[in-house]
Homo-oligomer: A and B are copies of this chain.
Amino acid sequence: MRLKGVLSYKGTNFFGYQIQKDSTQRSVQKEIQDVLKRIFNSEIKIFSSGRTDRGVHAVGQVIHFDIEKEVNVTKLKHSMNCLLPSDIHFISLEEVDETFHARFSCVNKEYRYVINLGEYSPLTNDIMYNYCSSLDLEKIKEAMKLFIGRHNFINFCANDDGDYIREIYSFTCEEKENIITFKIIGNGFRRYMVRMIIGTLIEVGKNKLDIDSLRTLINGENFLRVSFKAPSEGLYLYKVNYEKEGKSEYDDN
C-alpha cells in the first residue's frame, strides 16, 4: 500500500530535508527512514514533494512511501510520532492511490517567510528572521506585484542547471505587531528562490534597490544573480497542493 504523510519539522538542527552523504549530519529524510526501518525491519525509501534546505522549516511538507503489508494507518502514524525526534511530526498519514506521487502529483506549493521588524526576541530567533529594523512596506507591496506571473527566475536561484521558468500565482503579505508574514504560491520554486525574492524585497524596503532595477532582475534578461538571500530561519514550506488526491494531471499523461 502507498501512504501519503503530511509533516512538520523545525529545520534548525537539520542539514536539510535530504539524506546526507555524511551520516552524522542529521536530515529529515534519514530520521524518518530510520524510524520506518525500526518498525518494518526493512529499508523503505520515502519520496518528498521536494527538498528543503538546511535550517528551513516545514509545516506542510508531503512525502509518500510504499509498504508491502497492510497496516492500521492510524496506529502507524502514532508509532512513528512516538519514535521520531521532537523536531519532526506527522500531522497526517493516509492511504492513497498508487498513482499518487509526492513530487510529481504536486500542482503548486505555498511557502511562507516571517520577518520580525520589532525588538529582537531570543524566543523566536530560530523560527523567524529577526531583522529588527523598519522597512518601507508600501514599496515592498508594490515590488511584490512584479513577481506575479510566469518569469525566468535565473537571477533568483542557486547556480544549478535546468529550467528557470516558474509561475507565481499569488504573493501577499500581512503585518501584525511588527511581524510580517509573506505568503507565496507558485507552480515550483528553484533552490534559494524564495529566500532570494525576500532578500530582494528587503533591499527594496530599505531603499537600496529601486523598482526598475528589480524589474530587470525579474525579466531575467541580464544575468545578474542576486546576492541578498534572506536567512533560512524565516522560511517555511507551508503547504503542498495536489489537484485530486491520488491522481494528478501529470499521471494522466
A127 touches which of B57, B81, B119, B123 (Cβ 8 Å): B123
Q: Is A76 an interface residue (CB 8 A)?
A: no
Interchain nearest-CB distance for A56 vs B (Å)? 12
How many copies of this chain sit in the oligomeric assembly? 2
Interface contact B91-A123, CB-CB below 8 Å: no
The residues in A between 73 and 88 inclusive whose CB is less than 8 angstroms from any CB of B are: 81, 86-88
Q: Which of B81, B119, B120 contacts A120 (CB 8 A)?
A: B81
**In whole angstroms, what is the CA distance A117 to B123 when docked?**
20
Q: List B contacts of A9 (CB < 8 A).
A: 122
Question: A82-122, CB under 8 A of B: which get 1 and which 0?
Answer: 00001111010000000000000000000000000001111
Complexed CA–CA distance, A91 and B87 (Å): 29
A10 within 8 A of B: yes
Chain B nearest CB: distance from A14 CB in Å?
A: 11
Judge whether A125 is part of the interface by a CB distance below 8 angstroms.
Answer: yes
Q: Decide if A216 is an interface residue (CB 8 Å cutoff).
A: no
A-B residue pairs, 9 tightest by C-beta: A10-B122, A87-B122, A89-B120, A10-B123, A89-B122, A123-B127, A86-B125, A9-B122, A8-B122
Residues of B within 8 A of A20 (CB): none
User: A120 vs B88: C-alpha distance in the bound complex, in angstroms?
Assistant: 10
Question: Residues of B contacting A86 with CB < 8 Å?
Answer: 122, 125
Q: Are A125 and B87 in contact (CB under 8 A)?
A: yes
CB neighbours (8 Å) of A127 from chain B are 123-124
Inter-chain contacts of A89 with B (CB < 8 A): 119-122
Residues on the B chain within 8 Å of A88, using CB: 122
For the complex, is A59 an interface residue (Cβ under 8 Å from B)?
A: yes
